[in-house]
């Protein structure tokens, strides 16, 4: 059976992006008609729509699609969630891991939904600082938990391949709400995300 792609893209957006990327190649001194670049504007147009599909997603709806009443009062931690995003200043990628914890207040959500919330906001033009707080706010507003904690560690290509060109730099951002604003709870969370459980 022949391979067939099933991805769908907005036709108007794709057409407009193809035109603009073809022009951009010309402005960069390239020939958009040469063999290796003939399909590049279309590929980039589709890639950019995929990388920014978070604009069409609703984090709260995702959480609430698997929201369950449970009398659980212990910390729930989902760590090492891979994330890929685009810096809105240079439109270069940044990538890393998110660590999220919450203390339920009568409601929990499916563990995969926590990871999907990261994608909702990461798949947009972003800054890491805002990404961190958006994830926290979505968890807070959807579940009304006793506390939420979000830590993101990421590497930014805008720092690694241009500008200061520091290949080994890692940026860490954090946001805490409720019980996680207390030193003891925050310390427990930070210890858990720093450990390698076996």
Active site residue 158: yes
Spatial contact of 76 and 148, defined as CB atoms under 8 Å apart: no
Name the catalytic one among 33, 70, 82, 88. 88
Gap between the Cα atoms of 144 and 159, Å rounded: 37
Q: What is the pLDDT of residue 166?
A: 78
Active site residue 82: no
Gap between the Cα atoms of 70 and 105, Å rounded: 8
Active site residue 64: no
Q: What is the pLDDT of residue 6?
A: 57
Query: pLDDT tens digits, the chain, 198 residues: what are they?
Result: 554 545 678 899 999 999 999 999 999 999 999 999 999 999 999 999 999 999 999 999 999 999 999 998 999 999 999 999 999 999 999 999 999 999 999 999 999 999 999 999 999 999 999 999 999 999 999 999 999 999 999 999 998 888 877 778 899 999 999 999 999 999 999 999 998 654
Name the catalytic one among 30, 42, 64, 90. 90
Active site residue 156: yes
Name the catalytic one among 64, 155, 158, 188. 158
Q: Is the pTM of this model over 0.85?
A: yes
Bridging pattern class, strands 76-87 and 171-178: unpaired
**Could you tell me the fold of the domain covering 59-194?**
GTP Cyclohydrolase I, domain 2 (3.30.1130)
Q: What is the pLDDT of residue 195?
A: 80
Q: What is the pLDDT of residue 20?
A: 98
Task: Give DSSP secondary structure letters for the chain.
Answer: ----------HHHHHHHHHHHHHHHHHTT--TTSGGGTTHHHHHHHHHHHHTGGGG--HHHHHHTTEEE----S-EEEEEEEEEEEETTT--EEEEEEEEEEE-SSEEE-HHHHHHHHHHHHSSEE-HHHHHHHHHHHHHHHH--SEEEEEEEEEEHHHHSSTT--TT--EEEEEEEEGGGSHHHHHHHHHHHH----
Name the catalytic one among 23, 33, 56, 89. 89
Instruction: Locate CATH 1.10.286.10 in the chain.
Output: 11-51
Tokens describing residue 33: 């008609």
Active site residue 23: no
Active site residue 99: no
Tokens describing residue 162: 């241009």
Instruction: Locate CATH 3.30.1130.10 in the chain.
Output: 59-194
Spatial contact of 76 and 108, defined as CB atoms under 8 Å apart: yes
Active site residue 49: no
Residue (of 191, 112, 108) closest to 151 by Cα position? 191
Class of domain 11-51: mainly alpha
Name the catalytic one among 87, 99, 126, 134. 87
């Amino acid at each position: 059976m022949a391979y067939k792609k099933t991805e769908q893209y907005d036709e108007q957006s794709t057409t407009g992006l193809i035109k603009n990327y073809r022009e951009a190649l010309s402005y960069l001194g390239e020939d958009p008609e040469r063999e290796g670049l003939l399909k590049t504007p279309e590929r980039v147009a589709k890639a950019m729509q995929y990388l920014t599909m978070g604009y069409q997603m609703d984090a709260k709806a995702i959480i609430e699609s698997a929201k369950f009443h449970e009398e659980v009062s212990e910390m729930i931690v989902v760590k090492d969630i891979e994330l890929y995003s685009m810096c809105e200043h240079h439109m270069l990628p940044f990538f890393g891991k998110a660590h999220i914890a919450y203390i339920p207040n009568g409601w929990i959500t499916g563990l995969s939904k926590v990871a999907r919330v990261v994608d909702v906001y990461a798949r947009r033009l972003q800054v890491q600082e805002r990404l961190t707080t958006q994830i926290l706010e979505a968890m807070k507003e959807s579940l009304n938990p006793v506390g939420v904690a979000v830590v993101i560690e990421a590497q930014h290509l805008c720092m690694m391949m241009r500008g200061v060109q520091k290949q080994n730099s890692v940026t860490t951002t954090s946001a805490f709400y409720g019980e996680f604003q207390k030193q003891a709870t925050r310390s427990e969370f930070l210890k858990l995300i720093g450990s390698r459980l076996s």
